[in-house]
Amino acid sequence: MAMGFELLDRDGLARLGRLTTLHGTVRTPVLLPVLHPDPARQAIPSSEIQARFHAEAVMTSSYILRRQADLSTEAQTKGIHSVLGFPGTVVTDSGAFQQHVYGGVEATPPEILEFQNAIGTDVATPLDLFVEPEVSHAEASRGVEETARRVEEARKLRGERLLAVPVQGGLHDDLRRRSAELTSSFADVLAVGGIVPLMDSYRFAELLRMLCRLRPHLPPEKPLHLYGLGHPMLFAFGALLGADIFDTASYYKFAVRSSLQFPTGSMPLSSVREEFCGCALCSEVPLQKVAELPAPAREKHLALHNLEQCFLEIARVRQAIREGELWDLVEQRASGHPALMAAYREVLQHPEVFLPTEPPSRRRLFLRGPLSLQLPPVVRFQRHLHEYTSRPSRDHSSPQWPSTPLGKVPPELAQVYPVGCVVAPEEYLPRDRGTASAPPAPVPSSVSAVDPMEQALGILEWTWGESVRQALNGKSIQLRHSKGSGRLREIFIDGNAAFVVGNDGLPHPTFRGGEFLHATLPAGHHRVTASDDAQPFVETGRSLFAQHVLRASPDVVPGAYVLIVNQADALLAVGRCLLGSAEMVRFRHGVAVRPVAHRKPATSSAASGDSATGALPLPDAGPAP
């Protein structure tokens, strides 16, 4: 497989991906334990890290290694993987952090990169200028320009390995954007640098504000590394903004000062009075016993504990992305410390960063309090609702509309995401239904006040636009409802199953529905255009890969159902997007759209004679009309 980054799944900006290097494939988000290049000074042997945590990649300092003559010679002779005793992917830093700590380094940028080539690293880093958060705009600008010059030179010297390119600029938003603009084209991996001072002083809100403002200017097809963001309480925040790579040296630094790391914060070992940690390591040796160990054994144990907490949190983040519940995990983590809550509030001030990749729906939406009403899916729903109810053909408001945790909504939309998927505290509170001040409960699964046909037409218009509703005039429309819940499950047009209504309350097109939409929607809407090379595969149900996408409509977002067409705008299949419009034409690896419905070959011997396939399964559906 060619080296590079491939996106496999996602939750908004957060991604599950695959980064391929010279020494294998790494699943992202990935945690890189930072190893000392001298194995004698590494508290936890790399073999133990690999065996216990199944680490796929690690990070070390090429600058420190280069300064140790014996190890430097061994690394250039046998390779960095041999020195570290680690067979997987190795990422090397350049000495920029040492420059930050000590004020300078004893090497030139070309020397550092040539050394990384000589030791056979998988991902090399050019020697950038670490820009401190507090420096003046002029000084930061000089650092950005010099880093850009070094990066361009490094691209020519990198050899066959991947190049991680630092994005600097301190807290100056324009300079961060300038740095990304100057250096992104030379990068295989993007690395946001200069953030450790913000972390060390708990200035998380400033850090997240900088990342929110920078993220739209970073190419989405390249994995993002947040240098030094190594505490488990911040991994969910980083992933929320699209970070794919984290590194941690703090697991050992905290251990040296007898401090424990948790996703909820840190704690000195001296404060432990109860055996509250249920991790595997603390089950083996209770924390109060750890405090009695000699210093070397205590430091190793605490380092292992901290590293286990880091790997566990990365696993939680990955699971949350799979389930579409990363926002909820972030809100839980925000409750762990006032500085994290300040960061969460700051993130919610930037919905425009998240809306281009916000999926049409998720399985559920937790509303934990007033801040939840600022979540991107709620912001988008309110904007769409305003546009929907402002059309001349619709009532602008009505006292008869059901009350929901998101406000009053037209009854035909009461089961549509996010309204119909809300999980809110009001659902579980004792309720006096005769009290006018009682909080609104989530709308029940069956809303008897809405006319079934109006519900069907309303959700079609909500999802696909006014032209779709208008095009249904004069057509025969039949509906299928669930026997058990009474929910609308399928919409037939002129006898053909056209739309399946999912648990999110939204109508998902079959191939027949795709044909109807293709004939109805204006050209350039809800479409992804495939290359001629891809057509034979797509029209038989194979995935459309990003490298074969020619165009994508601006309204295409991840998770949306779209029409896959050829260059002549002929319908090939109905698909569900993994990438958004702006991403599809940039990624060179991986799937862009997964077909869910396509036309059967003309030679098919379908008993019914129906030439369309790919209808989604119907949960708890009654007989066809």
Instruction: Check residue 562 and give left, alpha or beta (phi > 0: left; psi -120 to 50: alpha).
Output: beta
Q: Would strands 14-21 and 24-28 be described as parallel, antiparallel, or unpaired?
A: antiparallel
Instruction: Check: CB of residue 552 under 8 Å from CB of residue 528.
Output: yes
Residue 163 gets which letter from DSSP?
A: E
Strands (DSSP E) found in 215-281: 224-226, 245-248, 259-262, 265-268
Q: What is the 3-state secondary structure (H, E, C) of 347-384?
A: HHCCHHHHHHHCCCCCCCEECCCHHHHHCHHHHHHHHH
What is the SS3 assignment for 256? helix
What is the SS3 assignment for 467? helix
Q: How far is Cα 182 from Cα 189, in angstroms, rounded to an integer?
A: 14
115: number of Cβ within 10 Å: 21
423 forms beta bridges with 366
Q: How far is Cα 392 from Cα 394, in angstroms, rounded to an integer?
A: 6
Q: Would strands 30-33 and 544-545 be described as parallel, antiparallel, or unpaired?
A: unpaired
Q: Record the tokens describing residue 265, joined without a space.
A: 């914060």
Q: How far is Cα 468 from Cα 509, in angstroms, rounded to an integer?
A: 12
The Cα angle at residue 318 between residues 317 and 322, in degrees rounded to 5: 115
Q: How far is Cα 57 from Cα 35, in angstroms, rounded to an integer?
A: 11
Choose, from 38, 70, 93, 200, the residue flagged as catalytic: 93
Q: Would strands 527-530 and 561-565 be described as parallel, antiparallel, or unpaired?
A: parallel
- Respond yes or no: is residue 93 known to be catalytic: yes
Q: Record the tokens describing residue 458, joined without a space.
A: 């309303």
Instruction: Check: CB of residue 584 under 8 Å from CB of residue 218.
Output: no
Q: Record the tokens describing residue 480, joined without a space.
A: 């299928």
Of residues 507, 500, 496, the one with CA closest to residue 625: 496
18 forms beta bridges with 6, 27
Instruction: Check: CB of residue 50 under 8 Å from CB of residue 86.
Output: yes
The CA–CA distances, whole Å, from 592 to 18, 109, 537, 548, 567 equal 15, 38, 14, 9, 17
HSE-CB for 414 with a 13 A CA cutoff: 26
The CA–CA distances, whole Å, from 180 to 193, 224, 257, 584 equal 11, 12, 36, 20
Q: Would strands 496-501 and 507-509 be described as parallel, antiparallel, or unpaired?
A: antiparallel
Q: Letter for the amino acid at 386?
A: H
Q: How far is Cα 549 from Cα 385, in angstroms, rounded to an integer?
A: 32
φ and ψ of 267, to 5 deg: -150, 135
φ and ψ of 280, to 5 deg: -60, -40
Burial class of residue 510, CB neighbours in 10 A (0-12, 13-18, 19+): buried
Residue 326 gets which letter from DSSP?
A: H
Q: Report the catalytic residues.
A: 93
